[in-house]
A and B are shown apart, each in its own frame.
Chain A
Amino acid sequence: MLLVALFLALIISNVPPALAQTEQGVVTVQVLYHGTIPPPTGVIVTRNPEICGTQVLLQSLTVHSPSGGLKDAVVTIDGISAPETAPAGMAPNVLSNSRCSFSPHVMSLQTGSPIEIHNQDPIMHNTHINYEMRTFINVAMVVNARPVAKTVAKPGLYRVQCDVHKFMGGYVLASTHPYFGVTDDHGNTRILNVPAGHHDISVWHERLGQLQAHVSVPPNGEATATFEFREDKTGHGRRMDR
């Protein structure tokens, strides 16, 4: 039985790659913010200050200086479906409770893949994720708890909170396909293996909202998209094809 399975696997992996997939390219994205950065909101910690600190500074805009690159923005190709070949992104997406905050603060994942909740702190957090008005999961993550995994079925925005520490918050954005990215400290992200052609592309940020643009992805080449959010929320996206 095992032998047969192995044999089949060999045959399948022998299919030349060019036949199995359409031509692809890379989309390189930069998300910028131009404007003043509001001062962080200070929250006095009443529960577990020994671990969480006595005061937490909440900053919903993390902007790199001097480039203006905006962190934690989710970039997604729109109106595209998942590839037929086995999706690569089904590895668990780890959401950690770490020093009284959710790490990563913003996560993007493909539907059908699990979200795996960890607690690295020596105190209890409850990880409470809502989808619209419905609980997706609310689990107590006690000290040394083993990770809890749950598969995300529905695309859309999930809000993450901890009821014990109300300053803890995060977001999960689920798409039906693997063509997304979350911007790093410099506001950059790269989306790999995007089918060549014209695509709509959008960016979402928890505070600044959404912007849209277009990209033309050349076969085996690279397209660049830059999004600019402005303080008055009139930002725009522009494209540069290479």
Chain B
Amino acid sequence: MRRHHLASAVVLILMLGASSPAHAAKPDDNPATQAQGKVIFDRTCLWCHGVTGTGDGPAGRFLGRYAAPRPRNFTTGSFKFRSTPSGDLPTDQDLFRTVTKGIPGYMPGFASLTETERWQVITYVKSFSPAFLVETPVSLPLTGTATPLGPESLDRGRALYERFECHTCHGVEGWGDGPVAQAGDLRDVSGLQIQATDLTRPSSFKNGATLQDLIRTLLTGLDGTPMPSYASRLTGTDHDGWDLAHYIRSLSAESAP
């Protein structure tokens, strides 16, 4: 019994979403907060995401016209960077992380806004999709225990990369040139052609490149894109996720972030 409690406490601490706790400045989700968020949105985000949040702002129109990604359409309720199961909404912490760090290559980070302002604008962003009123997103637990980086872990990671057929899309060397990617068959949810990420360039990863970030990406998948969730295969394993994450980082010539 005691052990059980201990175990669930550890799981709680390891919840994927809990990595950057920023609760202190979080205002209540109410109409006043939304109104304050709207002011910030109109000044800061509207340019790309558009007045109605559909991703068709004055600049958004030109972003991703012929190839993915377009600025997110917030009305669909589909989000890429989550700690939650495939198909679920992101948690508030997930949105906070995205808005704070930005999306390399596509969206600036907004650490320049105060934490309170970031929470306000997130409240407003959520108001574009009614799904946030009825669904309660819950982070997946991070799986297993961290394995030390070393030849054994990398060997296991390489074997998993092969067994999980990551190379189909990302290529054997991780250059984003797998056969399906090369055939031009990969599309995002709006039908736009999308690249499989070049895994040798972690500084360009949209969802982060730390071990925890990579495991999160593998567990959740990136909704609206072909990148699938491997949660059913990784959950309950002790070190598969960590080995795979080590291996992805070893593909890079860049120095680890």
Contact = CB atoms under 8 A, between A and B. Distances in A.
B76 interface: yes
B31 to A, nearest CB: 26
Contacts of B231: 139
Interface in A113-155: 123-124, 126, 128-130, 132-140, 142-143, 145-146, 148, 150
A166 interface: yes
Contacts of B187: 163
B98 interface: no
A230 interface: no
Contact of B223 (A123, A135, A163, A164): A135
B230 A132 contact: no
A142 to B, nearest CB: 5
Given A47-B180, A126-B228, A138 B223 contact: yes
Interface stretch (B6-14, B116-124, B149-157, B163-171): B163-171
B87 interface: yes
Interface in A77-134: 123-124, 126, 128-130, 132-134
A124 to B, nearest CB: 4
A47 B76 CA distance: 31
B50 to A, nearest CB: 15
A128 B228 contact: yes
B73 interface: yes
A128 B226 contact: yes
**Most interface-central of B224, B228, B230, B231 (chain A CB within 10 A):** B228
A139 B189 CA distance: 15
A134 B78 CA distance: 5
Contacts of A139: 86, 221, 228-232
Given A126-B226, A138-B229, A139-B229, A47 B179 contact: yes
Nearest to A134: B78
A136 B87 contact: yes
Interface string A161-184: 001101000000000000000000
A25 to B, nearest CB: 36
Contacts of B233: 140, 142, 145
Nearest to B184: A166
Contacts of B180: 46-47, 163-164
Q: Name the 8 nearest CB pairs between A and B, nearest first.
A: A163-B226, A135-B223, A126-B228, A133-B76, A124-B165, A140-B228, A134-B78, A137-B87
